[in-house]
Amino acid sequence: MTASKHNISAALLEWYDSHARSLPWRAAPGSAAPDPYRVWLSEVMLQQTTTAAVAPYFRKFTQRWPDVQALAAAPEEDIMAAWAGLGYYSRARNLAACAREVTALGGFPGTEAELRKLPGLGAYTAAAIAAIAFGERAVVVDANVERVVSRLFAIEEPLPGSRKAIRANADTITPDDRAGDFAQAMMDLGATICTNRDPRCLLCPLTEACEGRAAGDPARLPVKPPKKAKPERKGAAYWIERDSAVWLVTRQGTGMLGGMRALPDDGWTARADGSGEPPLGGEWQSAGLVRHVFTHASLELSVFRHEGGFDPEGEGEWWPVEQIEEAGLPTLFAKAARLVLA
């Protein structure tokens, strides 16, 4: 490598001072650290979700619950409803649990080790909060950083096996000072310059130090294993309407989309097919099909509609059809509702 480890971090921070993205949860480069609550909330939301998708949710959450104490006091069903559409709903359940624990502690702990003990905080999230909110030197590695470090050090081992080497190399260039700015600079470099396809090497502040570029083809790094085909599932959802209201249920808290309001369905999960048929009794009409892709499976959901004298079994609630967008349905069932109402 043609540049020292110190020069790498210095060059990246100098670039960040001029090119940092303006994001609603960020503090400007070199300024006082942001509120740990805002850092934590944004990092949880950003897990496997794009910045563009997260920004409006972050604004909505912080307007409604401006601090961790307010979030801790909120009913979990309200948090789940506000989360609807962001996906990976276990994050929302962990969010509620973590807010309650932080409030009981009197505030966020300021070290990576203590942050790791909170519900839903893995290695990356704890390191990011420690560095960005508390200025602790922590090695922060997300997908963007994986890509930058893999190319910078020309790490040839395929993911996920290369993650140990990626973290070790990221550790060598993480500075003692401005740890939070450095972590965000690495994220920004991966998001805007060292992109997955067609990296913009001529604009990169680390181009002279990059071993992947010197080898001639940085875009092929990191080496990824071949994708496995996702299993295809089938299921059915039921729109039961009476007096301009639709019957909604709350899904079991530990299953698929657990704790969310939803249309009744035939019991499909990511690992099992449903019948794809309406229940016996009454006159059902087909409203069409909804297709949705989850992390581990794709789903073809048949949607059936019933109006009038059908009495649903089990617990649920009648929700005004004209207010269905306020029910906080997860994306799959929001698609089904739009299909019925189209």
Which residues belong to the active site? 43
Sign of CA dihedral 199, 200, 201, 206: negative
CA 67, CA 298: separation in Å to the nearest integer? 37
Dihedral (Cα; 186, 192, 197, 202), 10-degree rounding: -90
Dihedral (Cα; 127, 144, 148, 205), 10-degree rounding: -100
CA 298, CA 100: separation in Å to the nearest integer? 34
